[in-house]
Amino acid sequence: MAQYMDVHHGMKGITADQLMAAHKADLAVEKGEGVHFERAWADPESGTVYCLSEAPSPEAVQRVHELAGHRADEVHPVPYSI
């Protein structure tokens, strides 16, 4: 398992409710891929969403987001964190 930060662009105007709904959609399907989405942060002005997860691979992170209907634009392994 490793930690990943993925990024979604083009989310201008996203609301707190929409962020929560998207996160719940991830949680509903993540177990099948061995992924856990831990945190998410949204900037509605620039339309950027960051998601922090624990996962076996970047492909598993993307598969969960795809199953939930919101493919990530970037998936970064973040082996170092504080």
The token pair that represents 60 in the structure block: 């598993």
Q: Binding to a copy of itself by residue 3, rule CB under 8 A?
A: yes
Interface residue with a copy of itself, options 8, 23, 63, 65 (CB under 8 A): 23
What dihedral do alpha carbons 34, 74, 25, 68 form, nearest 10°? Answer: -90
Q: Binding to a copy of itself by residue 82, rule CB under 8 A?
A: yes
Interface residue with a copy of itself, options 36, 44, 54, 67 (CB under 8 A): 44
Contact 31/63 with Cβ under 8 angstroms? no
Interface residue with a copy of itself, options 34, 56, 69, 77 (CB under 8 A): 77
Which amino acid type is present at position 23?
A: H
Interface residue with a copy of itself, options 36, 40, 54, 70 (CB under 8 A): 40
SS3 call for 16 = helix
Q: Binding to a copy of itself by residue 20, rule CB under 8 A?
A: yes
